[in-house]
Amino acid sequence: MIQLIRGFKDILPEEIAVWQHIEKTARSLFADFGFKEIRLPILEHSELFKRSIGEDTDIVEKEMYTFSDGKRGMITLRPEATASVVRSYIQHKMYAKDPVQKLYTIGPMFRRERPQKGRYRQFYQIDAEVFGVNSPFIDAQIIFMLVTFFNRLSITDLETHINSLGCPECRPRFQKRLLGLITSVKSELCIDCEKRSTKNPLRVLDCKVPTCKKAMEDAPSILDFLCKDCDNHFEKVKALLDKRQVSFVVDKQLVRGLDYYTRTAFEIQTSLLGAQNAVAGGGRYDGLVKTLGGPAQPAIGFAIGFDRLVEIAGINKEDFISKPDIFIAALGEKCIDTAFEWVCTLNIKGVKCEMDFSGKSLKSLMKKADKLNAKHVLIVGEDELETRTVTLRNMSTKKQVSIETDSLVESIQEVLK
């Protein structure tokens, strides 16, 4: 039998209610905060990710699903959404209409990571990006929006980590100092860190390998190297979060795995997931729009790990399973014919109504109604059709009412009110 590809998964009908509930909560959150949806292709030119995420990142170095598109060159299954949103912002000159754009998108991302709990090769993200706003107010606002989202889902076991990654003016001074430390502890670092230390020393701070973590314990804090503007920006973000009573931890180790971040970086972590403890992450990327060929417009965004959210949301699936309002137990061919008409009419009117077409006995039809958790069963036999009166049974109270078939739809709607 052909099986799923390793690291991929099916989201089955019995799980979908939770996904839909989370998605609905996200969409209403975005509407409340003035975000508009954008839907983007899953395939992009590989160049887009190389130039945005960075050649020396794990994602671009070893995790992308890249293949040839013949003469059109190399294409990649998107490993994240930000690069595509930026490409679209530039390509459609959204900035000309209004540089300030608040966009969100929900969909699958692909990374060839080592599969484990909470880490898949196709996973889903809820992604939000804001373009054209330099002010620290927007940094605070989108962190506040994220926290509001988790509150609305009643997820409480969370910690918001924030840091500033500085800007091209102040970051090099920090990188230089960091490189000094890295060189002195090089023998203690993992192979990846050894390789990335010269090209991308910041990433060493982010490494989860215990020996690297230990070696970098006394690393300097980038916050001590920020230029005046970056420092003021970060102080304001913190003050605004305090004012909104959003609790957070300043985490000097937080650097995020992608090259394009500047200034504010943040991550929402939970203890409920084990090793893969991040449920959402994001930050500012003030240089990316220009890097990708657009005008110099600041930007900030985040991505929520949808799959991880489903795992920690603790939503009772039963609460979301759709139950039929009515199950019609039709006995015999003639009754099935008539019941079919009723089902169609009731469905048009928005009544969740189902039936079985196989002509089974009343006993097995009642069993089926039970299995479906139908709220009411309408029993239709030849006698009922003759007397033009059917019986509607409430499955939880066991109460039965007689309904005239001539006014069947109206009577059912009345009962369901």
Binding site for ligand AMP (CB under 6 A): 80, 111, 113, 118-120, 123, 125, 257, 278-281, 303, 305, 307-308
Strand segments, DSSP code E, in 111-225 are 122-131, 159-164
Side-chain half-sphere CA neighbours of 272 within 13 A = 15
For 204-270, the three-class secondary structure string (H helix, E strand, C coil) is: HHHCCCHHHHHHCCCCCCHHHHCCHHHHHHHHHHHHHHHHCCCCCEECCCCCCCCCCCEEEEEEEEC
**What is the smallest separation between the CB atom of 115 and ligand AMP, expressed in angstroms?**
8
> Is 57 or 141 the residue whose CB approaches ligand AMP more closely?
57
Q: What are phi and psi of 184, to 5 degrees?
A: -75, -20
**What is the smallest separation between the CB atom of 23 and ligand AMP, expressed in angstroms?**
15
d(C-alpha 170, C-alpha 167), whole Å: 6
**What is the smallest separation between the CB atom of 52 and ligand AMP, expressed in angstroms?**
12
**What is the smallest separation between the CB atom of 156 and ligand AMP, expressed in angstroms?**
17
**What is the smallest separation between the CB atom of 380 and ligand AMP, expressed in angstroms?**
49
**What is the smallest separation between the CB atom of 308 and ligand AMP, expressed in angstroms?**
4
d(C-alpha 31, C-alpha 25), whole Å: 10
> Is 113 or 229 the residue whose CB approaches ligand AMP more closely?
113
If we measure between CA atoms, which residue out of 105, 112, 119, 104 comes closest to residue 77? 112
> Is 119 or 177 the residue whose CB approaches ligand AMP more closely?
119
> Is 276 or 297 the residue whose CB approaches ligand AMP more closely?
276
401 token code pair: 């009412």
For residue 9, give the 3-state DSSP assignment. Answer: coil
> Is 133 or 258 the residue whose CB approaches ligand AMP more closely?
258
**What is the smallest separation between the CB atom of 366 and ligand AMP, expressed in angstroms?**
44
DSSP 72: G
d(C-alpha 96, C-alpha 295), whole Å: 10
> Is 27 or 119 the residue whose CB approaches ligand AMP more closely?
119
Residue nearest to ligand AMP (CB): 305
> Is 30 or 327 the residue whose CB approaches ligand AMP more closely?
30
d(C-alpha 185, C-alpha 193), whole Å: 11
